[in-house]
Structure 1
Amino acid sequence: MALDPTDWTAGMRQLILLALVGLGAQLVDGSLGMAYGVTSTTLLLAIGTNPAAASATVHLAEIGTTLASGFSHWRFGNVDWKVVAKIGIPGAVGAFAGATFLSSLSTEVAAPVMSLVLLALGLYVLIRFTTFGLPRTNLGKPLRKRFLAPLGLVAGFVDSTGGGGWGPVGTPAILASGRLEPRKTIGSIDTSEFLVAVAASVGFFVGIGNEGVNFTWVLALLAGGLIAAPIAAWLVRHIPPRVLGSAVGGVIILTNVRTLLRSDWIDASDAVKWPIYGLIYVVWAAALAYSVQQHRANRDVERATETV
């Protein structure tokens, strides 16, 4: 039976689109510590994939992308292995539980509440890094297991039930503590996500098998992510902490405002959403510009002091 050239062309376009989405999502995730799952899952849902299969597809692709990302971050010195162990293992437990026993529960009610908390953390991160730069009061102090373990458990559960959430929950919480510099926060979150992706994938296979999972889509997302992983790890190494903190803060704010505006609590119309998004983009761009300007000014002062 001959293949219809039109169907073949459409299929190839879809795979190329998925690969580009995987590349873009991993570039953002590896640079800012979040957004791979949210971006990829949103696309899969938009083309009609059921939520469980979409999340399973993304997590299968993430096994490869997070392994490559973790290796790249390790090579560039962006990983704190103590943090990876303390948050990654509880994260895997939460992801497996969410994928098997609890994935049928609706997170629609919990999502707006969590978004409010994360929005507050995002505002803190944006203001703190933009105004004062890298917080140094607590920098270098150890992150306790009693803080990281519950954080990992919640982030892993949200990640598997919502198709994304490991980075958006974990990254701002650790950044807000001021105990770990941004590049190591992002590198450690990305590396520990490998454990979460494996646990969630096992959980989905236990719960739903491979029903609805398109392994060609998995490979397409994976291919794009593998290309982006080392580039993102290199970027994190070279972006100044102050600028990186402002960038992450803006992503956190935009992501969670979007969730709130789409929730049943608000259910805002497009006429309300887009002006709010526009305002956030303007403020975010101004914060980034100020952070860059202040970084350059401080660098010039340091160089002048060294030459005296």
Structure 2
Amino acid sequence: MDYAFVEQLLPYIAIGFAAQLVDGALGMAFGVICNTLLVGVLGLPPALASAKVHVVECFTTASSGISHLFHRNIDKALFFKLLLPGMAGGVTGAYLLTNIDASVVKPFVLGYLALIGLYIFVRGVFWPPKPREAKHVAPLGLLGGFLDAAGGGGWGPVVTSNLLVQGVEPRRVIGTVNSVEFFLTIAVSATFIAHLGIADLLGATLGLIIGGVAAAPFGAWAAKRIPLKPMLIFVGFVLAATSSFGIWSALR
């Protein structure tokens, strides 16, 4: 066994596990957490970082979706309203990101990730929302899919948080959005691979896959039991702080 290789994977396994645990519990933040680290801390080009994370999410969202199906957390009507718009937005965002100079887009992607962190933080502070019927689901899926691919994360923060604020039952929102995300990531990953190739997507991707898949069942369980308010505040603060550090590093 190559122990040096295993040792190199361990940090990525831990990141994948933590990110998927949060994502399974909140219905958001796997892509944002991973992309913030890869772009803001490790300095990867935004397109490559987003491609790596979406390949990983093909595995984590499949595992998470099956877990949520087992726990009966999926709303079929909401699922089909989000499915096609989300995939269309994701393919468009991935195509756009692969055709823009990485040095130009990087500060904007990090700025977007920092705003997503602040958005999650504010939603946590003002949680819980007033119950309302979910509206504009298809446009929300289209926007969420586009920002998820082009910004390196955002499907959960955009779609899940808006549906939660509208008062839809939390466990069904989280389970449904996570399940749709599997099909979104397949479409986005195929678009990235078509433009970037598959060779550059290996390496750290394996560690993220191992950690993410291992955490998926725990995330589905946590969705029923962990209070959302403190988790939203904590995750939002960490994401905003980490992305801000990445912006400072990129511009200095």
Fold shared, TM-score > 0.5 on shorter chain = yes
Q: Deviations over 1:179-230 (max 9, x none)?
A: x12222221221111111111101101222224211x433321121111111
Q: Give the Å deviation of 1:93.
A: 0.8
Q: Deviations over 1:35-66 (max 9, x none)?
A: 21122223334445433222211111100110
Q: Distance in 1 between matches of 2:38 and 2:115?
A: 26
- 3-state SS of 1:203 partner: helix
In the alignment, which residue of structure 2 is the partner of 1:17? Answer: 11
In the alignment, which residue of structure 2 is the partner of 1:217? Answer: 204
Alpha-carbon distance change, 128 to 39 in structure 1, aligned in 2, over 3 angstroms: closer
Q: Distance in 1 between matches of 2:42 and 2:114?
A: 25
Q: Distance in 1 between matches of 2:11 and 2:242?
A: 23
Matched, 1:172 2:143: no
2:144 aligned residue (128, 131, 155): 155
Q: Give the Å deviation of 1:95.
A: 1.0
Q: What pairs with 1:1-308 in structure 2 (closer than 5 Å)?
A: 8-45=2-39, 46-105=41-100, 106=105, 108-109=107-108, 112=111, 119=118, 122-129=121-128, 135=130, 137-138=131-132, 141=133, 143-144=134-135, 147-178=136-167, 180-214=168-202, 216-239=203-226, 243-252=227-236, 254-256=238-240, 259=243
Q: Distance in 2 between matches of 1:10 and 1:113?
A: 35
Q: Give the Å deviation of 1:262.
A: 6.1
Alpha-carbon distance change, 187 to 248 in structure 1, aligned in 2, over 3 angstroms: farther
Confirm or deny: 8 A CA contact 1:49 1:212 kept in the other structure. no
- 3-state SS of 1:171 partner: helix
Q: Give the Å deviation of 1:29.
A: 0.8
Question: Where in structure 1 are there 5+ consecutive unaligned residues?
Answer: 270-308
Alpha-carbon distance change, 21 to 109 in structure 1, aligned in 2, over 3 angstroms: closer
Question: Where in structure 2 are there 5+ consecutive unaligned residues?
Answer: none
Alignment TM-score, normalising by the size of structure 1: 0.69
Confirm or deny: 8 A CA contact 2:89 2:141 kept in the other structure. yes
Q: Give the Å deviation of 1:112.
A: 4.7
**Greater relative contact order structure (CA < 8 Å, 6+ sep):** 2
State percent identity of aligned pairs: 36
Q: Give the Å deviation of 1:232.
A: 1.0
Q: Give the Å deviation of 1:101.
A: 3.5
Paired residue total:
245
Confirm or deny: 8 A CA contact 2:68 2:74 kept in the other structure. yes
Confirm or deny: 8 A CA contact 1:171 1:185 kept in the other structure. yes
Q: Distance in 2 between matches of 1:48 and 1:115?
A: 16
Paired letter, 2:6: M
Confirm or deny: 8 A CA contact 1:95 1:196 kept in the other structure. yes
Q: Distance in 1 between matches of 2:188 and 2:164?
A: 25
Q: Distance in 1 between matches of 2:113 and 2:17?
A: 28
Q: Give the Å deviation of 1:158.
A: 1.4
Confirm or deny: 8 A CA contact 1:94 1:154 kept in the other structure. yes
Alignment TM-score, normalising by the size of structure 2: 0.82
Q: Distance in 1 between matches of 2:189 and 2:183?
A: 10
Q: Deviations over 1:106-129 (max 9, x none)?
A: 374587578658846752553242
